[in-house]
Amino acid sequence: MEVQSFIANENKLKKLYYICSEDNYLREEFKQKFIDKFVDEEIKDFNLSFVQPGEDYLKRLKSAVQTPPLGSEKRFVISHLEAADSFDKKEAEKFIALLENLAESTSLLILSPEPLDKRKKLYLRIKKQGSYHEFKAPKYSNLDKWIVSRFREYNKKIDKRSIKVLENMFSNKLEILAAEIEKIVTRFPDKEKISYYDIKDLISRERFIEDEEIFAFLDLIGEKKTDKALLSLKEMLNKGVYPLYLLTMLANQIELLMQVKFYSQFTKNNKEIAKKINKHPYPVKKALQRSRNFTQLELEKILEEILTANYHFLTGYYPDQNTALEMIIIKAINY
């Protein structure tokens, strides 16, 4: 089932939703559609909270879900969680107790890239308390349909050869694909049908941006060097890097820094951390060095800012994306 269909059929709000998808785009899509359907605009400021993973996670989550709603019957808490199965026995028991004692006035949405072990107590408790669902990025013919539907949202058609080119370059990484599709339709506003010859040069530019360039950019943010960070940003944009692609790359690196910083409390060995988070030791080593420039709270705030902007970019909320990206960076530096 697709995210859109799931939300459309969810007519009675539950106290707990545990949503898993390794695809960040699908997790963000679920979060935004959940908010759009269930969280009234007038109560967002006081009754919608976000809890990011990191230090004292369970303590912060418990505080959020136990806070009563203000001027409303419901309070909503949305939390990103890397892997609940990585809790030790004591933490797992606390987490289960927290979920079992949710107030009727609270609705908790947990978003995780990792599915739960269905043999364990945590999964069984979640199924009993609320809704557990896994969403997978589409493949093969379903991915073809997804790409076609994305173009259709912009009132565009695309030929089969172009679909295959997009799939070959970006596989089923939906966040990157969505950014590429938006770039294509923006470049050809008056064309009803997009052809291979329209896109072949346009989609190749971002392939040249390196992780090192992103890391250097993050260094400038961490060192609070606003002028140099904005200059670096402009240089990347001048190379033809699409703002939404850059935002996606930044989100990926911030998530890596958060993971590495969390595990660095227990070990400074990059190989051990890499094994924990299923990453190659080299980028983990680099992230371990860069994570010292940020507190966990700063990283959480920056990531939330980026994810919100990412959604606004996709929905066309920001007409001038370059300027919007500059404002996001300035805000991140000032945290």
18 & 95 share domain: yes
pLDDT of residue 154: 93
129 & 9 share domain: yes
CA distances, 134 to each of 20, 188, 282 (Å): 5, 36, 30
Residue ending a domain, among 156, 178, 206, is 206
Per DSSP, the chain holds a count of helices (H) and strands (E) of 17, 7
Domain boundaries, position 102: 3-134
303 & 321 share domain: yes
Q: What is the dihedral of CA 136, 137, 141, 147, to 10 degrees?
A: 150
Length of the chain: 335
19 & 125 share domain: yes
d(CA 97, CA 300): 25
DSSP run (H or E) holding 16: strand 16-20
Residue ending a domain, among 108, 134, 160, is 134
For 146-189, write each residue's pLDDT tens digit: 999 999 999 999 998 889 878 867 778 888 888 889 888 888 88
pLDDT of residue 13: 93
One-letter amino acid of 306:
I
Range 241-269 average pLDDT: 83
- Please check the confidence at residue 206 and state whether its pLDDT lies above 60: no
250 & 171 share domain: no
Mean pLDDT of the chain: 85
Contacts of 82 (CB under 8 A, 6+ apart): 53, 112, 113, 114, 259, 262, 277
126 & 184 share domain: no
127 & 34 share domain: yes
Read off the pLDDT band of 208 (50, 70, 90): very low
pLDDT of residue 78: 96
d(CA 64, CA 49): 7
User: For position 244, which CATH number holds?
Assistant: 1.20.272.10
Read off the pLDDT band of 316 (50, 70, 90): low
78 & 146 share domain: no
User: For position 160, which CATH number holds?
Assistant: 1.10.8.60
User: For position 36, which CATH number holds?
Assistant: 3.40.50.300
For 88-123, write each residue's pLDDT tens digit: 888 889 999 999 999 999 999 999 988 888 888 889
One-letter amino acid of 88:
D
261 & 234 share domain: yes
119 & 8 share domain: yes
3-state DSSP assignment of residue 47: helix
218 & 196 share domain: no
State the sign of the Cα–Cα–Cα–Cα dihedral 182, 187, 193, 199. negative
d(CA 34, CA 293): 34
27 and 21 Cβ atoms separated by less than 8 Å: yes
Residue ending a domain, among 134, 159, 178, is 134
pLDDT of residue 211: 55
CB half-sphere exposure, 69, CA atoms < 13 A: 20
As for how many domains the chain has, the answer is: 3
For 32-75, write each residue's pLDDT tens digit: 999 999 999 889 889 999 998 888 889 999 999 999 999 899 99
Bridge partners (DSSP) of residue 79 are 51, 110
DSSP 129-178: HSEEEE-----HHHHHHHHHHHHHHTT-EE-HHHHHHHHHHHTT-HHHHH
CA distances, 144 to each of 99, 162, 195, 221, 288 (Å): 38, 10, 15, 38, 38
CB half-sphere exposure, 236, CA atoms < 13 A: 29
214 & 322 share domain: yes
